[in-house]
Amino acid sequence: MPEAHTRTPRERYRTQVRAEIKEHAWEQIAAAGASALSLNAIAKRMGMSGPALYRYFAGRDELITELIRDAYRSLADTFKEAADAGADLAGLAHALRAWALADPHRYFLVYGTPVPGYHAPEDVSEIASETMAVILDACAALPSDAPAAPFDAHVDAHRQWADGPPPPAPALHRALVFWTRLHGVLSLELAGHFTGMGFDPALLFAAELDDLSEH
């Protein structure tokens, strides 16, 4: 993290404390999950009183939203870095897997059980589409020898995109398949649904990736 060269010392202190709060929040999430995040506990660990944190975050929801935003941002940056380094789909897949394994709770903050009342702010879905754009670019770079499945025709018929021109149907299909298959393996692995089955999830991930490349 580069030194935020903010104007006043107060602002600098403020951003610093905010960052420290988020750090403790991540630790707490790693220890007991996002639902057990407690502002009070964070305050106590920082040697502050409970209500003091409300000077920095409007409430628990805002803090969690910020963490979610950071998680999305981190994933998008990871993908962009990999793409800038010339990674193809396999490279992106490995970057995704490494990112997920590095902090499973961060992964679940992005792709885990949604909270019914919660609606992600605008910029979060924007960051999500950044991530999707990287995958789409990698897919568009591939020859489209796919036999034009009925799904592609459907996409062609219903294409509507948040902003900008919609991607070609085969590339979108490929990107969706990439995304959903890898997420399928990763999320079940991280949730521990493969334990006791006696195989290495990494190899199942690799097998799915191979199948994606051949197809």
Instruction: For residue 101, give both structure tokens.
Output: 């394994």
Find the binder of a second copy among 84, 160, 164, 165 (CB under 8 A). 160
Print the binding letters for residues 30-69 with DNA: x by CB under 7 A, - otherwise.
-------xxxxx-x---xxxxxx-xxx-xxxx--------
Binding of residue 116 to a second copy (CB under 8 A): yes
Question: How far apart, in whole angstroms, are the C-alpha atoms of residue 47 and residue 72?
Answer: 30
Q: Which residues have a Cβ under 8 Å from the Cβ of 137 and sit 6 or more positions away?
A: 83
Of 38-46, 72-80, 133-141, 207-215, the window that binds a second copy (rule: CB under 8 A) is: 207-215
Is the distance from CB of 178 to CB of 93 less than 8 angstroms?
Answer: yes
Is the distance from CB of 34 to CB of 20 less than 8 angstroms?
Answer: no
Of 76-84, 87-95, 137-145, 146-154, the window that binds a second copy (rule: CB under 8 A) is: 146-154
Question: How far apart, in whole angstroms, are the C-alpha atoms of residue 13 and residue 45?
Answer: 18
Q: How far is the CB of 69 from DNA (least distance, A)?
A: 17
Q: How far is the CB of 200 from a second copy (least distance, A)?
A: 7
Query: What distance lies between CA 201 and its chain's CA centroid?
Result: 20
On the 0-12 / 13-18 / 19+ scale of CB atoms within 10 A, 25 is buried
3-state DSSP call for residue 115?
Answer: coil
Which of DNA, a second copy, none does residue 210 bind to, with CB < 5 to 8 Å depending on kind?
a second copy
Print the binding letters for residues 86-105 with a second copy: x by CB under 8 A, - otherwise.
-------------------x
Residue type, 50: G
Residues in touch with a second copy (CB under 8 A): 30-35, 105, 108, 111-117, 125, 128, 149-151, 154-155, 158-162, 166, 172-173, 176-177, 179-185, 187-188, 190-193, 196-200, 203-204, 206-208, 210-211, 215
